[in-house]
Amino acid sequence: MSGFTLASHAEHWLEVKQSRFLAQAFPITNIDQAMVLLETAKLQTATHHCWAYKSGLHYRFSDDGEPSGTAGRPILSAIEGQQLDAVMVIVTRWYGGINLGTGGLVRAYGGAAAECLRLAERKPLLVWIEAKLQCDFALTGSVHMLLQQYQAEKMDENFNEQGWQLHFRIPAQYLTALSTKMNDLSRGSAILSSCENTPYEHT
């Protein structure tokens, strides 16, 4: 997983043989958000809305009616080439009446996306780890304070005869410290286990 995403929305205009291209790049926290951004972009009356996103191991792209391989893949290559993650890029084209050919389309879509990303402000990408905790009921108040201290977010919880079971996510850099604190707090009785990494950026 890459170490950077975008700090905010960015855009770049490009004109090639009377066709106008608007590249827009967005930081995303999940795939659903990427699709909402695409639907918003499609409100503009234009010839094509080509796009790509990358979020951890997940990626998709679309040529939106352009010849296969001339738009979506070059946009994704621009994202990967600049080692960015948790990013959605949409390149909207207004056709100018002159055909660009497959090579011209690849250069236009890929170039517009790459320049947009190059100019965009970046920020570090947080890697989140999901974890599960089982401990005594009496520790719930103290655990909530620890979760807040380490920027963790509660996802689910359950109370049963074994005690309190908590499912949460936490920035990966804080998991070891939280584990140490929990061991001390519970005198070794709490059970903390990590799940798979979740490939989302979060501010």
Residues 143-187 have pLDDT tens digits of 999 999 998 999 999 988 888 999 999 988 888 999 999 999 999
Per CATH, which fold does 128-198 belong to?
A: Alpha-Beta Plaits (3.30.70)
pLDDT above 80 for 129: yes
- Tell me how far the alpha carbon of residue 97 is from its chain's centroid: 36
pLDDT above 60 for 104: yes
Distance (Å, whole) CA 88 – CA 8: 11
Q: pTM above 0.85? A: no
Nearest to 186 by CA among 137, 122, 128, 139: 139
What does each C-alpha distance from 164 to 18, 150, 157, 168 come to in angstroms?
A: 64, 19, 7, 13
For domain 4-124, which CATH number applies: 3.20.10.10, 3.30.230.30, 2.60.40.1180, 3.30.390.50?
Answer: 3.30.230.30
pLDDT above 60 for 36: yes
pLDDT computed for residue 199 by the predictor: 44
Among 60-69, 79-88, 129-138, 193-202, the least confident range: 193-202
